Chains A and B, each alone.
Chain A
Amino acid sequence: MPKEYLGEFEELVLTMVGILGEDAYGNAIVSEIKDRVGREVNLSAVHITLYRLEDKGLVKSHMGGATKLRGGRRKRIFTITNAGLAMLRVMKDARVDLWKLIPQLKIVGI
C-alpha cells in the first residue's frame, strides 16, 4: 500500500481522468461524473482536486490546443501517470480483497 492516501472524491476524479484519456479537463470531468455516477459536482472542487493530484504526482497536465469555443482559451488537459494508475489499482485490489471477506453475501427476501 502506498504511503499516500486518496480521498473518495480524489479517487473518483482520478478514475475519470483515467477514463477520459486525452479529453480530461475540468468541465469534461464534471459532466462525465454527472453522466456516469449521476452526481452534481462543483467545477472549482474538481479543479482543486486535480491540482492536488498533480502535487502528489498522480496526474500530470499540459495545455491543449486552442479552439474557437471557450473564448479561444486553451484547455488544461490532465493525464494519469503510472503512479496514478498504480494507485488506482492498489485501491481497487484492496477493496476487492475486503469485499471477499464479507460473509454470506446474498440478497435475501426476494
Chain B
Amino acid sequence: MKKSTILRFLEWFCPPELYEGIEGDLLEEFERDHSRLGLKKANRRLAWQVLKFFRPEIILRNRFTIQLINTIMIGNYFKVAARNIQKRKLYSFINAFGLSIGICFCMLIFLFIQDERSFDSFHVNKQDIYRIEEKSFDTWEHDSSDPYRKSAWIQTALQPALKEELAEVLYATRYNSDHTGIFRYEDKVFTEKITYVDPDFFRMFSFPLTGVNPERVFQNITEIILTPAIARKYFGDEDPIGKTLRVDNEGEKSFTVAGIIEPAPANSSLHFETLIPQENRPGYERNLKQWGNFNTPTFVQLAPNTNRATFKTNLDTLLDKYMGDRLERWRKEAVVPIPADVKMLEYEFTGLPEWHLKKEIGWEKVSDPQYSLILGGIAALILLIACINYISLSLTTSASRRTEVGIRKVVGAQRNQLVYQFGLESLILAFISMVIGMGLMVLFLPAFNEFTGKGIQLTMMSMLQVTGASVMVTLLVGFLAGSYPSLFLSKFKPALVLKGGFTSKLQAGFTKPLVVLQFALSAFLIISSVIMYKQMRFVTTKDLGYSKDQILVIPTQTGWNEEADKTVARFRTRLQQEPTVVSIGGTTSSFAQGYSRYGYKIKGEQKSAYVYGVDPEYLPTLGVQFVSGRNFDATIASDSSAVIVNEALVADMKWTDPLNEYLNYQEDTVGLGAKVIGVVKDYHFLSLEQNIEPMMLSMNKNDVGYLTTMLVKIKPGDIPATVEKLQIAWKDIAPDRPFDYTFLDQNVAKQYESYQRWMSIMGLSTGFAIIISCLGLFGLAGINAINRTKEIGIRKVMGAELQNIFVLLNKQYVYLALIAFVLAAPASWYIMNKWLDDFKFKISMSWELFAISMLVGLFIALITVSYHAIKAALINPAETLKYE
C-alpha cells in the first residue's frame, strides 16, 4: 500500500517506538470509515486524526531524556557556578567588570542609534512631508569631482507658486529660523530667536498648539505664536493670549499673541521659540519678486500616494516657467564652461524622516550616519576585549576545573552536559554583568548626552527596548565568551586527569593570540586618542594671528542701519575713562558668527574674497600685525573707500607692490576701484578646517554694511566686574536694547566642539579599554606566576637574582605587546589620516607619536604584570619547595 503524505508526516514527527501502534490504530479507523463513509470522507478524517496527534506529548516523548537529567542538574550547576564565582573573586570581578562596561557601552550606543533613527518620527504626516532642495552647478568654486552645490535654501516665491499651480501640493510653508529680534513687553527687553513660517506650518507638523485653531492661525499677519517658556518669560503667570509684544527685527512691529505651541522635542529637526508669519520677514516683499535669490527653506505636504516622479517633473516644469530664460543667461555668462547636458539648476526633495541623516544638505542638527557606525565600532571593540578576558582567564584557570570535569565524567556526565554546564556558567556571569551594565547605563546617560549633544531620556518604552537589546547582547556575549572554554574544558579525558599525571602548567597555546589581539585593539585606541589629543591641542593653542583673549563680542542690536555705527561710537565715548577697557572695535561680523563673501570678476577671471566692514579701532583691538602700509584713519576722508587686504589676497592677485594697487571688487567700469592702503599678516578669520582665504577689510558702508558687532578688549583680572561696568554703560546709551555678550575665545573654540566631543568619547573609551585589558593581563600574569612558582624557587636556589626572574616572567609580555603594536600602527595611521583630513591645518603624524603611544602602552602593560612578577620573585624558595 502506498503511503499517503499524511502518514509520512506522522512518521516524521512521531517517535519510532510509538509509530507502529499509532499508525495501526489510525488505519483501523480509516478502514472502518472507508466502508461506512466512503474514501473521501475517510481520508479527511484520517488527516484530521493525524493532526490531532501532532502535539508535544507525542512529538517530544522520549526525545529529551537528556534534557530531563539536565533540569535535575541545573540546580547543581548554579551552585557550582556561584561557588566558583565566590572562590575566585578577582577573576570574577575582572570578567564582570569588563563585560558590564562593554554591555553598558552597547546599550548607550543602542540608545544613540535609536535616537538618530527616531528623528522627526513623531509627525503624523511624516510620510507626505518633503523639503524642497536646490541642486545647482557650482560655477563659483568649481570642483570637478563634485560640481554640484546642494542646499535647502530656495526662492521665497516658490511656495506660493507651488500651492497655486501644483495640484498634488496640499500644504506648503517657508521656514526661516535664522533670525533674531528684540522683544519688548513693558520693562522686559530680551533678544529672542524668531522663526518665520506660513500658516500651513501648523497643519503639516504635529507640534501641539493651544489657544487657537490650527486652521485659523496666522489669518492676520500680526499674530505671533510662542512656546510656553517664552510666554512665561514675558507675561509671568498671566494668560498670554491676546497680549501685545513689540518685536524689532529691522524695524519694530506689534504682534498679538495668538497661541502657545509646545517646544519641539530633542529629536526634532525643527526648533523654534517664537513663530511669526513669513510676510514680516525682513526683505520679504523684495525677495518675493526675485527668482534669483535663494533665501528660505520650504516644506511641502503632498497628497497621499502622490507619484514622486510626477512631482519631480512638475517641479521641473515650474522651474522652467519662472527661471528658464534666466538660467540660459547664467549658462552663457558662466566663467567655467558648463557641459550642455548639465542642468544649471534643478529641484530635488527629501522626505521628512530622512532629513536628519542627509548630511550633504546643511541643516541644524543634521548628523552623519557614520557616527553611529563609529560609536558602534567602539562599543564592539570594548565588548570584544572583555570577551577575550573571559576566554583567556577561563582557559588558564582550567587546571583547577580539571578534577571536577574528570569526576563528573566518571559519574556519568556526557560531554554535552559539561558543555551546557560551562556555557551556563558564562551566561550567569554575563547576566550578572548585564544587570550591573544597566545600572551603569542609567548612571552614565547624562554624561553620554552631554558628550554626544543629545537629549535622550529613558521612558518605559525605551527601557523595555534597551532591556530587550541587552538580553540579546548578553546572550551573544555569553555564547561567544563561553563557547570555546566550554568546548575546551569538556574535552579532558577522565582517566588522564584523575591519574594526576597532568602538569599544572599554563596552557598558553590559544591565549597568546588572544592577548595579542586584545593588545592590538587597545594600542589602536591609544594611538588614535594620542593623535586626536595632539591635534586638538594644536588647534586650541595655535597662534591664529590675532589675540582672542579677553575680548567680549557684543551685538549692537540695531539691525542693519546707521544706528549701529552710532551705537559703537557712543559706547566707545561712554567707556573712554574706564581703565579696565583697553579698546573697542566695530565690525560687521565677529569670527565664527557667519561671514560675507564677495565674488567679482577681474580681467575676466572669477575672484572672491571674504569681506569685513570695520572701523579704525578694529585691527588694534585684535592685535593684528601689518606687513606693509597702514591702518584706516578716521581723519582721512579717502580711507572710507580704501581697503586693507591680507597676504592671501595679495598672493591670489599676484601683486608685487600691493600698496600701489587697486582692488576693483565693485566691478567699476570707470574708476580703478578701491585703493589698497595696507596689507595685514594672514590671520585665521575662518576655522582651522579651512585655509586662510583672500580677505579684505573696508569702511565703505554702502558696500560692506554697518558695524553690527562690537569687540571690546578688556584687561585681565576681575572680568565679572568689568562686564558689570559694560552692562551699566550699555543701559546708559541703549536702555531699550538688551545687553548680550559672548567671549571671542569661546566662540572660536565652539567651532571645534564636535571634534572636542569626539575626542572625549575616544578618550573615555580608550580609558575603559585600557582598564579592561589591563585587568585581564593582570589576571593572566598572576596565573602565570603561580604556575611557575616552583620553577622560580629552584632558580632562586640555584642563585638567580631578582631581576633575572623579573625579566624571565615579563619577557613574553613585551614580545606580545610589540607584535600587537606592529599590527595596530598601520590601522590607526590609516584611520587617523582620514580624520585629520578634515583640517587644513594639522599636525603631521610623525613616528614619535607612535613611539610615544607604544611606550605608554608598554609601560602600562609592564606595570600591570610586574606586581605578580615581583611578588613571585620575592617568595622565599624554602616556602615553595618544601613539599617536594
Contact = CB atoms under 8 A, between A and B. Distances in A.
In terms of DSSP, what is the predominant structure of the interface of chain A? Answer: helix
A73 B27 contact: yes
Interface stretch (B54-62, B481-489, B763-771): B54-62
B654 interface: no
Given A27-B28, A43-B29, A48 B57 contact: yes
A27 B22 CA distance: 9
Contacts of A61: 21
Interface in B499-524: none
Interface in B3-30: 18, 20-29
Interface stretch (A5-13, A63-71, A90-98): A63-71
B250 interface: no
A60 interface: no
B18 A43 contact: no
Nearest to A50: B21
A70 B24 contact: yes
A44 B55 contact: yes
Interface string B135-169: 00000000000000000000000000000000000
B238 to A, nearest CB: 74
Contact of A47 (B20, B22, B27, B29): B22
A51 to B, nearest CB: 6
A25 B57 CA distance: 18
Nearest to B24: A73
B661 interface: no
Interface string A33-49: 00000000011110110
Q: Looking at chain B, what size class is its interface with the partner chain?
A: 20 to 34
A74 B21 contact: yes
Q: Looking at chain A, what size class is its interface with the partner chain?
A: 20 to 34
A75 B24 contact: yes
B882 interface: no
Given A27-B25, A27-B28, A27-B29, A43 B20 contact: no
Given A43-B29, A69-B31, A26 B58 contact: no
A26 B21 CA distance: 8
Contacts of B61: 51
A26 B22 contact: yes
A47 B53 contact: yes
B345 to A, nearest CB: 74
B834 interface: no
B754 interface: no
A44 B24 CA distance: 13
Given A26-B25, A74-B20, A75-B24, A47 B58 contact: yes
A44 B28 contact: no
29 contacts: A25-B21, A25-B25, A26-B25, A43-B26, A43-B29, A43-B52, A44-B49, A44-B52, A44-B53, A47-B21, A47-B25, A47-B53, A47-B58, A48-B57, A48-B58, A51-B18, A51-B61, A52-B57, A63-B20, A69-B28, A70-B31, A71-B23, A71-B24, A73-B23, A73-B24, A76-B18, A76-B20, A76-B21, A76-B24
Interface of B: 1, 18, 20-29, 31, 49, 52-53, 55, 57-58, 61
Interface of A: 25-27, 42-45, 47-48, 51-52, 61, 63, 69-71, 73-76
